[in-house]
Amino acid sequence: MRKTLVIGLLIMLASIVTAEDLKIGYVDSQRIFAEYQEYQDAQAKFDKDVEAWNVEAEQIKAEVEDLMTELESQSLILSAEKKSEKEDFLRAKQDTLRQFLDATFGPEGKAERRMAELSKPVREKVLEVIERLAIENDYSLVLDAGTINIAYAKKSLDITDDILAELATEQ
């Protein structure tokens, strides 16, 4: 779908603007984010949060495993009522673990929201720099090689280094 949209856009632009007036460039957003210190800092904060959530999940998982081991070792000596009580407690703890994992790592969970929160300002800054340099250098179109497949482009059309240099001067 995205490729079709880009191709359609290029065809429209080509028919509207003569070849002399059309200046196209591209950036590699994946490379920009890999090399841009602000994004690396945001990623490090995110990784630290994920590590803390993983520790919390492991603690709950260990509690579940301890309860399972305890129930297995005591199942023969427990009354039916006590055994049922311990099984209910185990199921509740398993539900707690499942809910924690879903709320943290599931779709629209804490992890996804935190990554969006940390990366949004960085992404916006990168897009602002791309737009500013595109306007200053009179580009008609700037493609992102990191999000669409570009089968071929002249290396001279790659303005990724220019974007990285501009971002570096703004820090």
Q: Is 21 exposed, middle or buried (0-12, 13-18, 19+ CB in 10 A)?
A: exposed
Taking domain 2-170, whether its CATH number is 3.90.650.10 is answered by no
Per the CB < 8 A criterion, the answer to whether 130 and 166 are in contact is no
Please give the structure tokens belonging to residue 43.
């990623």
What are the beta bridge partners of residue 24? Answer: 141
Are 38 and 125 contacting, i.e. CB atoms less than 8 angstroms apart? Answer: yes
Q: What is the pLDDT of residues 105-115, one digit of tens each?
A: 999 999 999 99
3-state secondary structure 130-151: HHHHHHHCCCCEEEECCCCCCC
Which pLDDT tens digit goes with each residue over 144-158?
988 887 767 778 888
Where do the structural domains in the chain lie, given as residue ranges? Answer: 2-170
Amino acid at residue number 170: E
pTM: 0.73
Q: Using CA atoms, how far apart are residues 128 and 125, in angstroms rounded to an integer? A: 5
Q: Which residue's entry shows tokens 């703004």?
A: 170
> What's residue 21's pLDDT?
75
Averaged over 126-143, what is the pLDDT?
Answer: 92
